[in-house]
Chains A and B, each alone.
Chain A
Amino acid sequence: QKEVEQNSGPLSVPEGAIASLNCTYSDRVSQSFFWYRQYSGKSPELIMSIYSNGDKEDGRFTAQLNKASQYVSLLIRDSQPSDSATYLCAVIPYGNNRLAFGKGNQVVVIP
């Protein structure tokens, strides 16, 4: 079982709609969770961090964490063409600093 899994294929959403991305992780005692955005040919850029169960909102982004079910999700409201990128989920297990990434989900926002 992979440490971090993002299984959905490319996601196409119309401009203005909500994009929803999901990620599951294998280490039950993981404590730190992140979402990175990566534009084509660029480096990953941190957009959200979440450490406690529940929702965390930052502008048009909302991260949701459910430790009991071992998943973390990202919602992008009012999607814009500039949101077209690959979104990477990352997890740090408890007790160390190893930052493990999923393979990412590509989001395409259609004007």
Chain B
Amino acid sequence: DARVTQTPRHKVTEMGQEVTMRCQPILGHNTVFWYRQTMMQGLELLAYFRNRAPLDDSGMPKDRFSAEMPDATLATLKIQPSEPRDSAVYFCASGQGRGTEAFFGQGTRLTVV
């Protein structure tokens, strides 16, 4: 059953703490996306990678967010320090090849208090 796996599913943290979200893309997919979803903004693209190389991270606040792919089976999104306005659902999605569809993980619901 090929699917994108995200951990943790839920995270509650205090303002100022570091948050790390992890994503395991579908085996064989070479493109990984990170999205943030809020009621006000909808799905916003934060960053994406192709063959583990970052192609675009213009959607991320650079001072506190960072995204990496240490290997082909793991993508991480870190927030340090976290702020209440970062509260949202963060989705990872993976795809195979240029111009093709992406498949989403179940998301990480982040609450910063």
Contacts and interface: CB of A to CB of B under 8 A. Distances in A.
Instruction: Give the interface SS of chain A, mostly helix, strand, loop or mixed.
Output: loop
B61 to A, nearest CB: 18
Contacts of A97: 31, 48, 50, 55, 95, 98-99
B80 to A, nearest CB: 25
B105 A98 contact: no
Interface residues of A, number: 22
Given A97-B55, A100-B45, A101-B43, A43 B99 contact: no
Contacts, number: 57
- Most B CB within 10 A of own CB, among A36, A46, A99: A99
A51 B91 CA distance: 25
Interface of A: 31-32, 34, 36, 42-46, 49, 51, 88, 92, 96-104
19 contacts: A32-B99, A43-B106, A43-B107, A44-B91, A49-B100, A49-B101, A88-B42, A92-B99, A96-B56, A96-B98, A97-B50, A97-B95, A97-B98, A98-B48, A99-B95, A100-B45, A102-B42, A103-B41, A103-B42
